[in-house]
Amino acid sequence: MYVVVVGGLLFLAFAYFAFAQGAAARNGGQSAADAAALAAAQEVRDELTDGFIAALGSPVELADWLRGRGPVGDGATAAAQLASENDSDLLGISATLVDGNPAFTAEIETNYTAGDSVIPGTENMHAKANATAVIEPRCEIAPGSDPLKLVEIDCEDGMRWKIDPKDIVEADLPYPNDLFSVHLAE
């Protein structure tokens, strides 16, 4: 009787260990998906900032770029790199809108498995996960600003930028994180 009870307890311990291995693989996969989605969104945020700066002096285009509506890539290169650095493969990246803001969903699969355990098949199972990162505009063109003469930009953190489209100096321009925030969607 004692041997059967101890054997059963050992089996339960190994089964719990297998579930813990699976949870660790899943958490690692989710971290890789989070990193990939954030990398894609940050790459696109940089492109939005470059487009905004290029559109200075064009009132119609300027507002669209500042709202995150400019034509940009999908951030797949940065997402694949971060997934790889987290020992995972990027299965896909898709662009969507979340609350009207550009968002990027990364789907990954880990290169590692949960490992050998008392549960058959876990040695061949890879964790899959996805995450979505959102780019939110932080600034807007100040009311009464004339984009052909002096562009005034008000940001939510109280910063105010004044940019002369005829005399653009790199040191006077906002950084990408000044214009847009990037975060994971809930």
Q: pLDDT by residue (tens digit) across 39-97?
A: 999 999 999 888 888 887 776 787 788 888 878 888 999 999 989 998 899 999 999 99
Q: What's the average model confidence in pLDDT over 90-107? A: 93
pTM: 0.81
Question: How much is the pLDDT for 182?
Answer: 95
Range of the domain at 9: 2-184
Q: Cβ neighbours of residue 35 under 8 Å, at least 6 residues apart? A: 82, 83, 85, 86
In the numeric block, which tokens belong to residue 156? 């939510």
> Reduced to 3 states, what is the DSSP secondary structure of residue 13?
helix
Query: Given this model, what pLDDT does residue 103 score?
Result: 94
Determine the Cα–Cα distance for residues 33 and 109; give it in Å rounded to an integer.
9
E strand segments, the chain: 88-98, 101-113, 126-137, 139-141, 151-155, 160-163, 180-184
Radius of gyration of the chain (CA): 24
Residue 170 has pLDDT above 70, yes or no: no
Looking at the structure of the chain, the number of domains it has is 1
